Amino acid sequence: MNGEQPELPPQVALLWGRRTTARRGRASGLGVEAITQAAIRIADAEGLAAVSMARVAAELGSAPMSLYRHVDSKDELLLLMSDAALEGAPELAGSDWRERLSSWAYAVLACIRRHPWYREIPISGPPVGPRDLEWFDRALGALADTGLPEGEKVLVVMGLMPVVHGQARLSIDLASGYEADPEAFGAGFGRALATVVDPARYPALSRVIASGVFGPADPAGEGTPPEGYDDSGPEFAFALGCYLDGVAAFIERTTGRR
């Protein structure tokens, strides 16, 4: 009879700290936690591209190859980073499920904003990290009093996740793009579109451009184009609202008349 479960996938075991803790030999001065934190520090300061095994090792004052005693590959380190980036999920606030899910969504947004490199990490497979599951759990908990069957709660949350992550990604992309070149994202973007879009091939789009949504065609327009980019943005609220409206209808349909 073994004390631990031997069947856990290796990455999952790593994420949960279920790796063999050595008792013999030299004491470990590095540790998975320290490595992950160092990598995150670098990514926060210099972007994900700056995170290399050599760079992380330098941050820790050790040799590059030392890291491989604690992490099997760089991909595993990225996995650890992506889970660690999601700092402790907040407790649920709000009186009804909608308020709670909404505040959950904004908490996710804030979290990703704090670690913009999060969206660049290629994710493959379902979330299995401790923090990731904590967020998942909180979202499920927000639906506790809806009377929805468990399977449907999962469906709702799994549907909400891409909305929030995708919208967060979009808003960060736009914000970083804007501060990289304000002119190109203001009226410049609209003008660039206008020069390139053929009304015959893009009828609906050119109608939108003509209406001046992407910035006025003549550069004498309003003086505050950055408004919509560096705050939460109305797009986030709108997309979230639409999805939650649909969820509300679904809840009513499922639990209301039966």
Q: Restricting to residues 53-112, name those near DNA by CB under 7 A.
A: 53-55, 57, 62-66, 68-70, 73-75
Rank residues 1 and 204 by Cβ distance to a second copy and give the closer one. Answer: 204
Are 165 and 159 in contact by the 8 Å Cβ rule? The answer is no
Rank residues 30 and 92 by Cβ distance to DNA and give the closer one. Answer: 30
Residue 22 binds which of DNA, a second copy, none (CB < 5-8 A, kind-dependent): DNA
CA-closest candidate to residue 232, choices 142, 136, 107: 107
Q: Does 45 bind DNA (CB under 7 A)?
A: no
Rank residues 21 and 195 by Cβ distance to a second copy and give the closer one. Answer: 195
Pairwise CA distance, residues 77 & 61, whole Å: 18
- 175 phi and psi angles, rounded to 5 deg: -60, -45
> Helix and strand tally (H, E) in the chain?
12, 0
Residue 62 CB, shortest distance to DNA, in Å, is 3
Q: Does 47 bind DNA (CB under 7 A)?
A: no
Rank residues 75 and 235 by Cβ distance to DNA and give the closer one. Answer: 75
Query: If binding means CB under 7 A, how many residues of this protein chain bind DNA?
Result: 26
Residue 58 binds which of a second copy, DNA, none (CB < 5-8 A, kind-dependent): none
* Residue of 9, 17, 29, 166 interacting with DNA (CB under 7 A): 29
Question: What Å distances lie between residue 208 and 188, 192, 201, CA to CA?
Answer: 16, 14, 14
Which residues contact residue 169 at a Cβ distance below 8 angstroms, ignoring those fewer than 6 apart?
Answer: 112, 119
Rounded to 10°, the helix 53-60/31-46 angle is 110
Residue 28 CB, shortest distance to a second copy, in Å, is 23
Q: Position of tokens 């039966």?
A: 258
- For residues 231 to 250, the per-residue mask of contacts with DNA, x marking binding by CB under 7 A and - elsewhere, is --------------------
Residue 220 binds which of DNA, a second copy, none (CB < 5-8 A, kind-dependent): none
Pairwise CA distance, residues 107 & 201, whole Å: 41
Which amino acid does the sequence have at 150? E
Residue 207 CB, shortest distance to a second copy, in Å, is 6
Binding stretches for DNA (CB under 7 A): 22-30, 51-55, 57, 62-66, 68-70, 73-75
